[in-house]
Structure 1
Amino acid sequence: MATGKSAVGASLAARLGWTFVDTDQLIVQRHGRISMIFAQQGEQAFRTLEARAVAEVLGAAPATQVVSLGGGAVLDEGTRTLLGGARVVFLDADLATVRRRITRDRSRPLLAGDPVEAWSRMDRERRPLYESLANHVLDTRGRSIEQLVTELIEQLQLNQNKGGDRHGA
């Protein structure tokens, strides 16, 4: 959460000439603001919508598409299974990197109250899932979106030159 997935994903897609899909934005377009869904229906209802959106997007994803998932999408076992057949990038961020974003942005319902403590707790819970799914890990500390995208493209090309990874190229 707040690691720059949408910004990096959109920039990567633009540089590659691919399409970009953000599952959180897809949910907002179809169902309204995420904070409103949480307030009116609860987190579980949001997670159900999220799992459906992810399944739809990943099920139809062409090889030339970059998909940004919400930070909690990996909590769903079905989503984790789907991600086993995709190339997954983990944007590894520490608290110092995301602190300013999470303390300014009041639209994230899971960060209500003490956003630093909430983010730290979620990071501890989710990090093992992210790490287990990732084909590529990018350390985001002190790096611009363009630097991250350039490094990721280099990793993808290196992997492709070595014969691809478990997901092809």
Structure 2
Amino acid sequence: MAVGKSVIGAELARVLGLSFVDSDHKIVAKHGPIPRIFAAKGEHHFRQLEAKAIADVLDAPAPAPVVLSLGGGAVLDSGTQQLLARTTVVFLRAELDTVRERITRNTGRPLLAADPVATWERLAAVRGPVYARLADITLDVGNSNVPQLVERLIHLLETESRKENS
């Protein structure tokens, strides 16, 4: 959460000439703002919408290559985990110091509304190990700008592809 998935993913897709899909944007386009979904129907309902949005992309017949940015909690869904096992997963890892400013000034994150820093730490402690287990590539996003991160990520993706093909 707040590690730059959407920005880095969009730039990676642009550089590679691929489509970019953000699962949160798909949900918003179809169901309205995420804070309103949380307020009206709760997190569980949002997670169901999220899993469906992700499955629509990853479980399509003959899916085209795409860069997909997932919402931070998406990996907690077992169905999503099964779909992710069939593709290359990148874990963008960040320390609290890297995201502190973003999470304290962004009011559009329902789960961080009460105490952003403590909540982010709690969520990272739960989600981090799941991402680490699912990830083919882990990229630390601290102390780098988006072009540097995308360049490093492309190198890691090429290395991963060579390993898979050998």
TM-score by length of 1: 0.94
Query: What is aligned with 1:145?
Result: 146
Q: After TM superposition, where is structure 1 displaced by more than 4 Å over at least 4 residues in a row? A: none
Question: 2:70 matched to 1:69?
Answer: yes
Say how many residue pairs are matched: 165
Query: What is aligned with 1:51?
Result: 51
Q: Report sequence identity in percent.
A: 54
Query: What is aligned with 1:80?
Result: 81
Quote how far apart the aligned CAs of 1:63 are. Answer: 4.5
Residue type of the alignment partner of 1:94: E
Query: What is aligned with 2:117?
Result: 116
Question: 2:160 matched to 1:159?
Answer: yes
**How large is the Cα RMSD of the aligned pairs?**
1.3
Query: What is aligned with 2:128?
Result: 127
Query: What is aligned with 2:37?
Result: 37
> SS in structure 1 opposite 2:20?
strand
TM-score by length of 2: 0.95
Structure 1, unpaired ranges of 5+: none
Q: Aligned partners of 1:149 and 1:62: how far apart in 2?
A: 23
Quote how far apart the aligned CAs of 1:80 are. Answer: 0.6
Quote how far apart the aligned CAs of 1:78 are. Answer: 0.6
Structure 2, unpaired ranges of 5+: none
Question: 2:10 matched to 1:10?
Answer: yes
Q: 122-131 or 63-72: which moved more?
A: 63-72
Quote how far apart the aligned CAs of 1:160 are. Answer: 2.5
Quote how far apart the aligned CAs of 1:16 are. Answer: 0.3
Quote how far apart the aligned CAs of 1:159 are. Answer: 2.5
Q: In structure 2, do the counterparts of structure 1 residues 164 and 101 end up closer, same or farther at CA, with 3 Å as the change threshold?
A: farther
Query: What is aligned with 2:20?
Result: 20
Quote how far apart the aligned CAs of 1:163 are. Answer: 4.3
Q: Aligned partners of 2:165 and 2:67: how far apart in 1?
A: 17
Residue type of the alignment partner of 2:7: A
Quote how far apart the aligned CAs of 1:94 are. Answer: 0.6
